Structure 1
Amino acid sequence: PGIGEAMRAESLKKVKTAMLSRGTAGIKGTTLIMNLPGSINGVQENLKMVLPLLEHMVEKMGSMATSS
């Protein structure tokens, strides 16, 4: 999905070097894996953006697990 792109776009508003970020997210089995920025501020900013979507992501993962 576009989680990595969204994290970079949000970070670019504050730090131009964010375009070098390799932020990404994916699913392995029933585990959500997110690669966050290296700075504490970057992590906090990205989590503020992603956490409101977490419940929806978990619900989608649950439906994927039961349909396979």
Structure 2
Amino acid sequence: MLFRKDIEPCCIYCKKGSPISEKEVACLKKGIVPAEGRCRAFRYDPLKRVPPRPAALDTGKLKQEDFSL
């Protein structure tokens, strides 16, 4: 999922950008731009992408029977 080719262009994931804050990126081409911005110079850097947190396990619905064979 992180390394797919058809990623939506976004300045926060671009090789040419460095995050300043959660809302701004310092771009080598355009200067300071919004993190959600995009331009034709976009080059995806998978190492800048932060994956979403995994869903928490709901243990309230589990019973002892679920763990026996």
TM-score (ref. length: structure 2) = 0.29
Higher relative contact order (CA 8 A, sep 6+): 2
Greater fraction helix: 1
